[in-house]
Amino acid sequence: MSNDYTSSEAHPIQVSHETARPYELSDVVPPSETNFIKVDDFRFFYGKKEVLHGINLEIPSRRVTSFIGPSGCGKSTLLRNFNRMNELIPGVRHEGDITIHGTSIFDPSVEVIALRRRIGMVFQKSNPFPMSIYGNIVYPLRIAGQGDRSMLDETVERCLRSAALWDEVKDRLHESALGLSGGQMQRLCIARAIASRPEILLMDEPCSALDPIATAKVEELIIELKRDFTIIIVTHNMHQASRVSELTAFFYLGNLVEFDETRKIFTNPSKLQTEEYITGRFG
């Protein structure tokens, strides 16, 4: 597994990348994109219970940021606020703000439907719809009113290639997605998540149900995808965080304890709690 991106000596967001890329994806992130996603004193409540206690966080564009921390620390809750999935749960409430590209996602003029089309999400348990592989990927387009056949075909191939699944399934696009293996299903869900060309990809423990080989494939994919997407990944696996992410946020009991370059978090954390968690003394 290549992890050259963690060997950069520079500022966390200046990450070296060996491949030739267009200018706009250059390694030097414009200052305006260092706070692509901005979490501002964000508090979140399930009923009366406060589960996030005033989080402040700035996530840069086109980087992989991982959220780590013991179960119940609020990392998934925060992740599910970025596309407002938590609103499906009755009795939730928030204070503070989250802005993306400078726009508050809670602004009354923001349509939650449009927001979720710009932000793809991959869930802990792969959840392909009980329909064909093709049908799964074109679902986001069909619900957006896209019916042009050649456009749909194109999207299916593009997304499956991006998800490194095309060669495995190109001959059975119209067979049920439920016949795929666990790892293939999760990659299909990633393909579906990027079908509507989102800018941000949220991943909620995407590998926790996969075997090591499938996990390795998904991790490779995540590293590949960060060229085009801003990826935030919640993980319990600290090796995974160190392998795929450039930035790491450590959460504990609803607080953001430390947020820094992944390499620093794992080698020289500034907070004792982080060090204890990383070294496995608790959590």
Contact of 133 with 188, CB cutoff 8 Å: yes
* Phi and psi, residue 187, nearest 5°: -70, -35
Nearest approach in angstroms of CB 9 to other proteins is 38
Tell whether residue 130 is a contact of other proteins (CB under 8 A): yes
Among residues 63, 123, 112, the alpha carbon closest in space to that of 83 is found at 112
Residue 109: count of CB within 10 angstroms of its CB = 6
Burial (CB count <10 Å: 0-12, 13-18, 19+), residue 90: exposed
Q: What letter does residue 59 receive in the DSSP assignment?
A: E
Tell whether residue 117 is a contact of other proteins (CB under 8 A): yes
Tell whether residue 123 is a contact of other proteins (CB under 8 A): yes
Give the interface segment with other proteins, choosing from 42-50, 58-66, 141-149, 222-230 (CB under 8 A).
141-149
Give the interface segment with other proteins, choosing from 70-78, 134-142, 146-154, 256-264 (CB under 8 A).
134-142
Nearer to other proteins, 133 or 247 (CB): 133
Give the interface segment with other proteins, choosing from 27-35, 139-147, 228-236, 245-253 (CB under 8 A).
139-147
CA atoms within 13 A on the CB side of 61: 20
Site for other proteins in 160-199 (CB under 8 A): 178, 189, 192-193, 195-196
Helices of type H across the chain: 75-82, 112-118, 133-143, 149-162, 166-169, 182-193, 212-225, 238-244, 262-267, 272-278
Tell whether residue 143 is a contact of other proteins (CB under 8 A): yes
Nearest approach in angstroms of CB 128 to other proteins is 8
Tell whether residue 269 is a contact of other proteins (CB under 8 A): no
